Structure 1
Amino acid sequence: MTGHKKNDAGPKLLSGGNPQIPKGEGNVPVAAYITAMPEWKRDIGERLDALVVDVVPDVHKAVKWNQPFYGFEEDGWFLSFRCYTKYVQVQFFRGTSLDPVPPKASKHDEVRYLDIHEDEELDEDRLRSWIEQASRLPGENM
C-alpha cells in the first residue's frame, strides 16, 4: 500500500520534462508553468514570455494541455510553447503565414514550430517579428 505524501518538489514533470500545470486562464498558471520548467528551459520560458508581453502588451495568457498559450480572448490563440527532452518548442498556429516561415513543419497544415536547444543563440529579433506577425493573424480557437 502506498502512502500519500505531500509533493514539495513542485509540479510533476511529464514526458520530456514538460510541467504538469492545471488548466487556467491568466498570468498565474503561465508563471507557474515557467517556474516549473526544468534547468535551462526555465530561462527560455522566461525569455519567451517576456518577448510576447513586450511585443503584445495586451496579450491574454492561459495554460491548456500542459503548455502556455498566448492570444486574445475574442480572437483565439496565436502561439504556445512546451518542453521536450532536448529543446523547448514554440508553436505558431498560423506559422505558414509568417515571413519567413518558421523552420519545422507540422502534421497540421498551417502550424509551424521553432525548436530551441540548450546553448543555442536565440534570435530575438526574428522571434519578435514572428510574434508581431502572428498576433495580427486570426487566432486559433481551442
Structure 2
Amino acid sequence: MKIRTLIISLSSCLILQSCGLAPGGQRGGHGSIGVHAGGGNPAAVIAIGIGVLIGTIVATLPKNHNSVGPERYVADGIFYQKSSQGYEVIAAPIGVWLDELPTQHRVVHYQSHDYFESKGTWYHLSPDTNEYQVVAAPNDVNPKQ
C-alpha cells in the first residue's frame, strides 16, 4: 500500500508540473496556472493521495468542473470556491448534491445503507432523485475499510 501511495504521489506531482501547477505558476505543458497559498505567496501543491491541499488557490478551474452553488464548483471530487485571487480548494460542503461520483470511490455498507467515499468525502445516493449528497462520515465506520 505504501508503494502505491508513493507512485500516486509522484505521478500527481509530475502531472501537476506538466500542467503548470508548479510553484509560482511556472509554465507547463498546458499553459500557466498560478498556484498560491491563502496568503498570496507562491506555494507548492502537495499531492497527498486526495488531491491538493485545502486552501490552495488556482487561477482557473479544471475543464470538467460543475457548479454546486453560488461561486462553488466541483471537479472529480475536489471542491472549489471563487475568491479574489482565483479559486480556493475547500472542504466538501455537507448537503451539496451531485449528479455523479468522483471516478475513484469505494462503497461502504453501513447499517443497511450504502455510502460512497472518495478522497475523504462521503456521499449517499438518493433513490428518489438518483443524485449523490455530500454527508458526514457515518459513525463507527473505519475509514481504511
TM-score, length of structure 1 as denominator length: 0.30
Q: Which structure shows the bigger proportion of residues in strand conformation?
A: 2
Given the two structures, how large is their TM-score scaled by the length of structure 2?
0.30
Larger helix proportion, structure 1 or 2?
1
User: Which structure has the larger Rg?
Assistant: 2
Larger RCO, structures 1/2 (Cα 8 Å, 6+ apart)? 1
